[in-house]
Amino acid sequence: IANMHIRDLKKAWHTLGKEDPLFAVLTYKDKRGGKWNEKEFFNTGKKEIKKTLEYLKNLKINLNYKKALDFGCGVGRLTQGLADYFKEVHGVDIAPSMVETAKKYNTKSRKCFYHLNESDDLKIFPDSSFDFVLSNITLQHMEPRYARNYIKEFLRVLKPDGFAVFQIPEKRIAPIVENDSIKTKIKNLIPEPVVALYRRLTPNARPLIEMYGLPRDEIKKLVSENGGKILDIKEDQSAEKWISFLYFIGK
């Protein structure tokens, strides 16, 4: 159901970024309402970056630590972590409120830069710009037509011999739990894109964090057709109620 426009994505995340930006990025139930401790929040990014880079080393991948891109940077949770390793890091996001908050939390402004990108491509960056591209818990929040295009763009902006790591779910799991209410059981049976469309067409509805996925075979083909090579695919736990994977790509 391709009804989301890029402006819908921007509007939703701009609103979420104004109201409770840290919770919008990491939706831990006990952190709603500004309850994230800033140091604790950004430490999750540092740990995640360390774990990702160590995994790349185990794959015998030798990264060039010059220039990195964090796609869907939000408030800079992972961007700041990348700046511990790379000489220059760029974070890009569609929501003005998120980018402004990221700049506020930027403790490494000499080598960490944030950009607002409101288009469905990455034309703000030329070909072969980055040694490393990272995207986590971002592609899952946009319709597949946009996710496909951004994956193509990851490969375009990668330098020769560069690497990319991105996360995206494959399919939704909607278990019906015996003690769920009738309302919850019915909701779990309705495809999320249908719920998202209904909310978009409902005046004054709260912004919804939409969820989508792409089949692994489709991603393999997409990567291959755009000059990339899949080095590894690892199942992860980033998307609740979804089967999700991390893709490790070489160019």
Band of residue 37 on the pLDDT scale cut at 50, 70, 90: very high
Pairing relationship of beta strands 158-172 and 242-250 according to DSSP bridges: antiparallel
Question: Is pLDDT at 52 greater than 60 in this prediction?
Answer: yes
pLDDT of residue 208: 73
Residues in contact with 182: Cβ distance below 8 Å, sequence separation at least 6, in sequence order: none
Backbone angles phi, psi at 232, to 5 degrees: -165, 155
pLDDT of residue 1: 45
SS3 77: helix
pLDDT of residue 206: 67
Residues constituting the chain: 251
Q: What is the pLDDT of residues 150-200, one digit of tens each?
A: 999 999 999 999 999 999 999 888 654 455 566 665 666 666 666 666 666
pLDDT of residue 64: 97
